[in-house]
Structure 1
């Protein structure tokens, strides 16, 4: 079985720290569970085209992500919630379009007060799309994301604490 891990980043700034953290997370996760293929997609490259549900590139990305076995949905937290860019992209899916896709909501915020934004705002949106998130969400403070060594320690700890469950759900050996 080919195991694919995809990431989609809803930061409106190209080349963001959220993108760097998501890429590091997807690569580390792939190494830990033995994924065959990884891709991280930066929605900032699409800009307002995510609002056009007929845009061929955005539609192709939505289609690609429906085939991922593991999908990391990453966003910085602005004003207590996920970004409008991410919302606009996800709104292009119909209800249940991500049925049974194993997702990991990943939020980055400056304040620890926003640590539950993934669970309280992003998770219900993913649920509406049929995605499942049995791992719970991943939250990192912006100050941790800015320090790659510290960031990677936190990412590895999150993965390692969930490795047996991840292995069962993806069908790989822990």
Structure 2
């Protein structure tokens, strides 16, 4: 089995800065473990369809994401937590549906006061779905995400500090 890295973005704005940063992070993680990266799903393209659990397109995406071994779950922080779009999508999974998935909760916010939103709000939701996050979460201020050079440097540093753990995770999953 090949170790696959993918992403899920819960920003309601299509082609958002959160999406761009997630794509960059997914590529760095894939490179670090020498594996292909899967697509990064932009939930903005589905909009309110995520509320329809019978929607075939949304169901197909949910199913496809269960085959990704390392999933970056990204969201801007709105009102101190993840977006309703992301929550609605994740609510379509049953308990334990992501039990074979490692996740990276990735949050972006304008204020550093929201730096723990991933750990205090998103991580428990991912735990409920059975996912584990051995790499820990990642928070980037909006100002950093807006500067491609600074964003890429911070992401590379974050991945580099986890290189040994990433190698171990990829080896176990394979």
TM bracket, shorter-chain basis: over 0.9
Q: Pairwise mapping of residues 23-172 of structure 1 onto structure 2 (< 5 A)?
A: 23-171=23-171
The more displaced of 93-102 and 33-42 is 33-42
Q: Work out whether residues 27 and 38 of structure 1, in 8 Å CA contact, stay in contact via their aligned partners in 2.
A: no
List per-residue Cα deviations over 1:48-78 (Å, max 9, x = no partner): 0000011000000000000001100000000
4+ residue segments displaced more than 3 Å: none
Q: Work out whether residues 10 and 76 of structure 2, in 8 Å CA contact, stay in contact via their aligned partners in 1.
A: yes
Q: CA RMSD in A?
A: 1.0
Q: Pairwise mapping of residues 5-24 of structure 1 onto structure 2 (< 5 A)?
A: 5-24=5-24
Deviation of 1:25 (Å): 0.7
Number of residue-to-residue matches in the alignment: 172
| Long gaps (5+) in structure 1 | none
TM-score (norm 2): 0.97
List per-residue Cα deviations over 1:116-143 (Å, max 9, x = no partner): 0000000000000000001110110000
SS at match of 1:171: helix
Q: Work out whether residues 25 and 155 of structure 1, in 8 Å CA contact, stay in contact via their aligned partners in 2.
A: yes
TM-score (norm 1): 0.97
